[in-house]
Structure 1
Amino acid sequence: MPRPSAPGARRRFWDRAEVVPEADGFSVRLDGRPVRLPGGTVLRVGSRALAEALAAEWQGAADGQKGGDFTPSELRLTRIAGTMLERIAPDRAAVIDGLLGYARHELLCYRVRYPALLVERQQQEWDPWLGWLGARYGVALRTTDGVMPVDQPAGALAGLRAVLEALPDGVLAALGVAVPALGSLVLGLALADGRLTAEQAIACATLDERTQMELWGHDAEQAGRLEMLGLDVVDAAAFLGLLRADS
């Protein structure tokens, strides 16, 4: 009896994925035919290193076997490239607005009053990154404790908008994956700036959950959720690294 296909699975129809240099970048082709994204855009990027990584994803799909099944989860860098080409390039403003929403509720700005261990760790691990934001971009965010929300200064939000507007499409695409996973625009910017590795950013963003599990016991469901979010951050960091490779 044939094995049932995974949800969203598609059949691999190509033998070889390769990078082809073109006048405006590097396209990924499957047996000579260009890869087209869901919106019809050709998968073409400006970075050779990124194009080669995208081609490697397509070559490895379905365990490299023509006729085998593959799922979008095997094309994680392609997903980010697709966002860059089909969502950000046509409408940067919408993506920037979405990222700014995380600044309005910035994870690092919301502190607990207890337990004492977590209060201390938040100060030790989060304060330096708010300080970095001020030193690097001249933006100061307000913090609060307890459950009351805090309104960030209009000038701070305007400063962050200017920072995001200056970023290339590819970096915005990576932030569009990393920031929701981290719950923090500040940590996302530090990741994009090369100041944090994926592992460091994940550890900082999950400080609350890790401390709670340390105090009250391991929660398998929560640990699994954090692991899945961590994969998005790793993907975003890899994408950023490939963009930097040609700079």
Structure 2
Amino acid sequence: MNGKPVTPQPSSPATRRRFWDRTDVVAEPDGFAVRLDGRPVRLPGGTVLRVGSRALAEALAGEWQDAGGGGKGGDFTPSELKLTRIAGTMLERIAPDRAAVIGVLLGYARHELLCYRVRYPALLVERQQQEWDPWLDWLRTRYGVALRTTDGVMPVDQPAGALAGLQAVLEALSDGVVAALGVAVPALGSLVLGLALADGRLTAEQAIACATLDERTQMELWGHDAEQAGRLETLGLDVVDAASFLALLRADS
């Protein structure tokens, strides 16, 4: 086989047809490339799928090896390539324009989940204090950023200095970590929890539990809501994917 890059073609609007037998990771001067039958993979924007971490590259290759049932000719969907999706964001969105993605993440700080508290029921008031206050304290201790909280219905304006501090934190992170936050933070609704996840202070399961405190308590008090539970489960999968990506980035450090 020659080394010409290949881009999987759709067999239907939602699927791709697997055309390869095996995947490999090849060490190159600027990283580790994933290859399908010896040919580099191109992302939708044309970028070759190449990362700086061998552990991540091996995991990406594993996704491609398992796609479509693991055999040539099978159909697969993008949902089977979860880590590749994050890597693609890193390579094709963040690397060329970090400022835009960081701006989106900062938007979550302006409406930080942990800063919006209820006045009742008493059980939820107590749980928010017990489970959310420690992470705002952690943010202040770890990064010197103090966010305001509110228990009213009106939005709270965060101090300009706090937002500038968070921007500096995000700008200091690698493209890979920013890419993982781009998946985890929208799912959690919290930049603070996302940063704690990226810092290794929270597992995916702990972050999900903290972020879904309101919904879980409401269902405990008023009864199970199958639709809401399903939505929370879907969002939780994104956090697990982001945490896996972060762990792979750290594996080579």
Q: TM-score, normalised by structure 1?
A: 0.97
Q: In structure 1, which of residues 214, 229, 235 is the aligned counterpart of residue 235 of structure 2? A: 229
Alignment of 1:1-247 (within 5 A): 8-247=14-253
Kept after mapping to 2: 8 A contact 1:111/1:145: yes
Q: Structure 1: how far apart are the matches of 2:121 and 2:154? A: 18
Q: Structure 1: how far apart are the matches of 2:151 and 2:59? A: 43
After the TM superposition, list the runs of 4 or more consecutive aligned residues in structure 1 that deviate by more than 6 angstroms.
none
Q: Displacement of 1:65 after TM fit?
A: 1.2
CA deviation profile, 1:123-152 (whole Å, cap 9, x unmatched): 000000000000000000000012111000
Q: In structure 1, what residue type is equivalent to 2:43?
A: L
Q: In structure 1, what residue type is equivalent to 2:96?
A: P
Q: Structure 2: how far apart are the matches of 1:113 and 1:178? A: 28
Q: Structure 1: how far apart are the matches of 2:244 and 2:150? A: 33
Q: Structure 2: how far apart are the matches of 1:31 and 1:165? A: 37
CA deviation profile, 1:150-196 (whole Å, cap 9, x unmatched): 00000000000000000000000000000000000000000000000
Q: Structure 1: how far apart are the matches of 2:134 and 2:157? A: 21
Q: In structure 2, what residue type is equivalent to 1:23?
A: P
Between the two proteins, the alignment pairs up a number of residues equal to 243
Q: Secondary structure at the match of 1:111?
A: coil
Q: In structure 1, what residue type is equivalent to 2:242?
A: A
Q: In structure 2, what residue type is equivalent to 1:105?
A: H
Q: In structure 2, what residue type is equivalent to 1:205?
A: A
Kept after mapping to 2: 8 A contact 1:6/1:71: no
Q: Structure 2: how far apart are the matches of 1:118 and 1:170? A: 35
Q: Secondary structure at the match of 2:33?
A: strand
Same amino acid, percent of matched pairs: 90
Kept after mapping to 2: 8 A contact 1:19/1:55: yes
CA deviation profile, 1:68-92 (whole Å, cap 9, x unmatched): 1000000000000000000000000
Q: Displacement of 1:7 after TM fit?
A: 5.4
Kept after mapping to 2: 8 A contact 1:108/1:126: yes
Q: Structure 2: how far apart are the matches of 1:6 and 1:210? A: 38
Q: Which runs of 5+ in 2 are unaligned?
A: 1-10
Q: Secondary structure at the match of 1:54?
A: helix
Q: Structure 2: how far apart are the matches of 1:209 and 1:63? A: 36
